[in-house]
Chains A and B, each alone.
Chain A
Amino acid sequence: MAKAKASVSKPYYQIVRETLGANVENGNLPTGTRLLVSAVADRLGVSRPPVKRALELLADDGIIMPLSSQGYVVGAAESPMNPARTNLHGLQLELPVELGSGLGQASWERIFAAVEAEIMNCIPFGTFQISEAGIGDYFGVSRTVVRDVLSRMDSRGLLAKDRSLHWIAGPFSARMLDDAHEVRRLLEPGALAATLPHLDNPALAQARARVAAVLGGSVALTQDAVDTLEADLHVDALRLVRNKRLAQAVQLSQISLVINRLFDTYIGLYEENDMLREHALVFDHLLLGDCDGAAVALRYHLDADHARARARLKVLSVFDAADIAPYLTRIH
């Protein structure tokens, strides 16, 4: 189902399990290779709990065997047993992007975006309790990592603790939208104007042409088309902001994008001509090199879009969230 995109769609232990299984099957992890939790975690660049769980499941499947001493060994029970202490870093393994992109990232960073997206997708519909243990199981990460993630969300104002110290998210209030908008209209136009000298004219012209194509009807108004148009103006055009603090603050204030996307999912996409014309206006100013005009046009667009998002949030408040992450429980 379409919604704000989550960067991780399945639990980490599943990814680890499938990765190891595939590498055993294609011979990258030869029969007899000894697999210790810590060594595998180090090789894959993930924490230990998902590896431990994945190894247990692979053992249940008979793909690897528990060793009496410690760890596991690749191969079924009937295979000849001669566990080799191989340095796993010496093996060429095929790793999926989910793991590859995790290299060098702190544990919390890998799941932060996913948890944030799941929460944002639910709270327009009500109030949810978040299970620390549930997140740990789902992503195969330790409680320490989970607490890190949640406290970072807490500092962004996305969560709170109730009287019995449960983590609570939501509901997404009109006030949240108002507050975010107030910040956004102060920051985003300035950020855009500041990036203009670094923007690439052909790319701008292409983005402007994409708006024209949808406005003119030669490209259908689909969810993908809208995603692309929104990203053109509100993500890609701001990518070159030098001030990372500013870039992050802008991104945090863009929560109305979630409301618009959920509205399109639950209610459907209809005419979006106002939004398209507002986007076109901003790009026209950018293409002329008119910083001030672009900032004014963007501020106008943000105000108009805020009014639309507010009306849409009201519609969403009538619904129940259709699918929620297993670590969230609706309480109101």
Chain B
Amino acid sequence: MTKRLKLRVIGRSEVLPRAVLELAAKELPFDLEFELVDSVKGLQRVVTSPNTFDVYHQWHTVDLIWTARAIQAIDLKRIHNGELIKTQAMARRSDSGAMGSVFNQLFVQPSGAIGAAPTGEIVMLPLLHGVDAFGFLPPVLKEWPAGTPHSWGWLLDRRLQGRVAIMSDPVLGMIEAALAVEASENMRFADVGNLTIEEIDTVADILLHKKKLGHFKTIWGNYQEAARSMQRGAVLQSMFSPAIAMLRSQGVPVISAVPQEGYRGWHVDLCISSAAQGEQLEAAYQYLNWWMSGKAGAVTTRQGYYFVLPELVRPHLSEAEWDYWYAGKPAQTALTNPAGKPSITPGEMREGGSYLERMSRVRVWNAFMDEHTYLVRRWREFLEA
């Protein structure tokens, strides 16, 4: 008997909820081995050992893994609806704020570099994207006059001392902290997604000071920890939308902020290992095309993620789901999270509005900054303080 083909997939736990893993296992004609890695260890593995995986759900590091030759170019002709990606890229070139980061580093240019000009090859298959902000519990609003717009500055506000949590990830954590510093200290950084050494110092010094004052209750690592943090007394904190879906299904009335300064945008895309070839490569393309069917994207929609080609997930969503998650309308019926548990009650409306309203309010995209090593040095200082 020949050995059954096995596709090895690496991704974060947020992107690959159990319902997606089960669906993939059921629908794909080969075995799947999912490795859920929430820390920088996943990236280290991908960069150093492309032979240990076939497919990687990357986020904000595609330039880096392309430089490291850990991934190979994806032939758009082999992707179902691949032309749509190209069309989408063309349509959105003028709309760089809302979709910029997804399409700016997508196509393989004739020089071998990555760029925005559409070609027949892409370095990653764009799948999921969305916006993040902090989340909070209703009593927080009592600290401000009624109608005060939500602000990233709240993360550092003295009124919430000892009741705030932020995430431990240095890349995202620093971006959120920088947004908070801008708002609370009334300053402006040239590019929040690519801070200079001096700007990193400014943010880190404020964070350290706040930590020593006892401002932060917890620092969390993944969405499950984020949900626990709020159950244990944090009233305002950095948030991933799966944690919001989880908390709501547990009856915690968490509110997802709509900060006046804008959101932190993110996207998660599929990359194929540079080492994949033969039947592994075939299976990798099958996995990518399975995602392009929109079925998995429908599952992750229920935790608040958007699919880059929304029309592909629409057939797999109920009308009520589409209207709530994408159209920004009040829920016509009770809606469930990916685990099938109730998470949205009838009449609820998504904070921030429709898909386009929310996406067009991105202030900064997740990004691996040029001064990453320096950033990590100061961030660890903060974590260890």
B380–A173 touching, CB < 8 Å: no
Interface string of A266-284 (1 = CB under 8 A from B): 1110100000000000000
Of A33-41, A86-94, A205-213, A311-319, the segment with at least 4 beta carbons within 8 Å of chain B is: A311-319
Chain A positions within 8 Å of B376 at CB level? 126, 171, 317, 332
Of B13-21, B64-72, B82-90, B358-366, the segment with at least 4 beta carbons within 8 Å of chain A is: B64-72
User: Quick check: is B47 within 8 A (CB to CB) of the other chain?
Assistant: yes
User: Quick check: is B370 within 8 A (CB to CB) of the other chain?
Assistant: yes
Among B40, B43, B370, B381: residue with most chain A CB under 10 A: B370
B48–A171 touching, CB < 8 Å: no
User: Quick check: is A310 within 8 A (CB to CB) of the other chain?
Assistant: yes
CB distance from A177 to the nearest CB of B (A): 9
B69–A126 touching, CB < 8 Å: no
A266–B371 touching, CB < 8 Å: no
User: Quick check: is A13 within 8 A (CB to CB) of the other chain?
Assistant: no
B373–A317 touching, CB < 8 Å: yes
- How far is B298's CA from A223's CA once the two chains are assembled, in angstroms? 48
- A124 touching B47 in the complex, CB below 8 Å, given contacts A175-B197, A267-B68, A318-B40: no
**Interface of chain B residues 345 through 377 with chain A (CB within 8 A):** 368, 370-374, 376-377
A124–B68 touching, CB < 8 Å: no
A312–B370 touching, CB < 8 Å: no
- How far is B43's CA from A266's CA once the two chains are assembled, in angstroms? 14
- How far is B67's CA from A315's CA once the two chains are assembled, in angstroms? 7
A318–B377 touching, CB < 8 Å: no
CB distance from A164 to the nearest CB of B (A): 14
B47–A175 touching, CB < 8 Å: no
- A171 touching B63 in the complex, CB below 8 Å, given contacts A266-B48, A310-B370: no
Chain B positions within 8 Å of A126 at CB level? 373, 376-377
Partner of A311 from B44, B67, B196, B374 at Cβ < 8 Å: B67
A270–B377 touching, CB < 8 Å: no
- How far is B291's CA from A48's CA once the two chains are assembled, in angstroms? 70
A332–B69 touching, CB < 8 Å: no
Chain A positions within 8 Å of B69 at CB level? 267-268, 270
Interface string of A93-126 (1 = CB under 8 A from B): 0000000000000000000000000000000111
Chain A positions within 8 Å of B372 at CB level? 314, 317-318
Majority SS at the chain B contact face:
helix
A173–B197 touching, CB < 8 Å: yes
- How far is B279's CA from A62's CA once the two chains are assembled, in angstroms? 65
Residue of A nearest to B43 (CB): A318
**Interface of chain A residues 113 through 158 with chain B (CB within 8 A):** 124-127
Chain B positions within 8 Å of A266 at CB level? 48
User: Quick check: is A174 within 8 A (CB to CB) of the other chain?
Assistant: yes
A314–B67 touching, CB < 8 Å: yes
A314–B370 touching, CB < 8 Å: yes
Residue of B nearest to A267 (CB): B68
Chain A positions within 8 Å of B63 at CB level? 311, 314
B370–A318 touching, CB < 8 Å: no
B47–A318 touching, CB < 8 Å: yes
Chain B positions within 8 Å of A127 at CB level? 377
CB distance from A294 to the nearest CB of B (A): 24
CB distance from A316 to the nearest CB of B (A): 8
- How far is B43's CA from A314's CA once the two chains are assembled, in angstroms? 12
- How far is B23's CA from A28's CA once the two chains are assembled, in angstroms? 79
CB distance from B300 to the nearest CB of A (A): 26
- How far is B197's CA from A173's CA once the two chains are assembled, in angstroms? 8
- How far is B204's CA from A39's CA once the two chains are assembled, in angstroms? 55
- How far is B376's CA from A319's CA once the two chains are assembled, in angstroms? 12
Residue of B nearest to A268 (CB): B69
- How far is B43's CA from A172's CA once the two chains are assembled, in angstroms? 20
Partner of B368 from A267, A314, A319 at Cβ < 8 Å: A314
Partner of A318 from B64, B196, B378, B380 at Cβ < 8 Å: B64
Chain A positions within 8 Å of B378 at CB level? 332
Residue of B nearest to A316 (CB): B373
- How far is B281's CA from A21's CA once the two chains are assembled, in angstroms? 60
Chain A positions within 8 Å of B43 at CB level? 318
Among A124, A267, A270, A315: residue with most chain B CB under 10 A: A315
Interface string of B46-84 (1 = CB under 8 A from A): 011000000000000001100111000000000000000
Chain B positions within 8 Å of A317 at CB level? 372-373, 376
Partner of A175 from B68, B371, B381 at Cβ < 8 Å: B371
Chain B positions within 8 Å of A318 at CB level? 40, 43-44, 47, 64, 372
Chain B positions within 8 Å of A125 at CB level? 373
A312–B67 touching, CB < 8 Å: yes
Residue of B nearest to A266 (CB): B48
Chain B positions within 8 Å of A316 at CB level? 373
Chain B positions within 8 Å of A314 at CB level? 63-64, 67, 368, 370, 372
- How far is B68's CA from A316's CA once the two chains are assembled, in angstroms? 9
Partner of A332 from B67, B68, B377 at Cβ < 8 Å: B377
CB distance from B203 to the nearest CB of A (A): 16
Besides A170-B377, A172-B373, A266-B48, 5 other A-B contacts (C-beta < 8 A): A267-B69, A270-B69, A311-B67, A315-B47, A316-B373
Lowest 7 A-B CB distances belong to which pairs?
Answer: A171-B373, A332-B377, A174-B370, A317-B373, A317-B372, A311-B67, A332-B380
Residues of A whose CB lies within 8 Å of any CB of B are 124-127, 170-175, 266-268, 270, 310-319, 332
Could you jot down 18 A-B contacts, CB within 8 Å? A171-B373, A171-B374, A173-B197, A173-B373, A175-B371, A267-B48, A311-B63, A311-B67, A312-B67, A313-B373, A314-B64, A314-B67, A314-B368, A314-B370, A317-B373, A319-B48, A332-B376, A332-B378
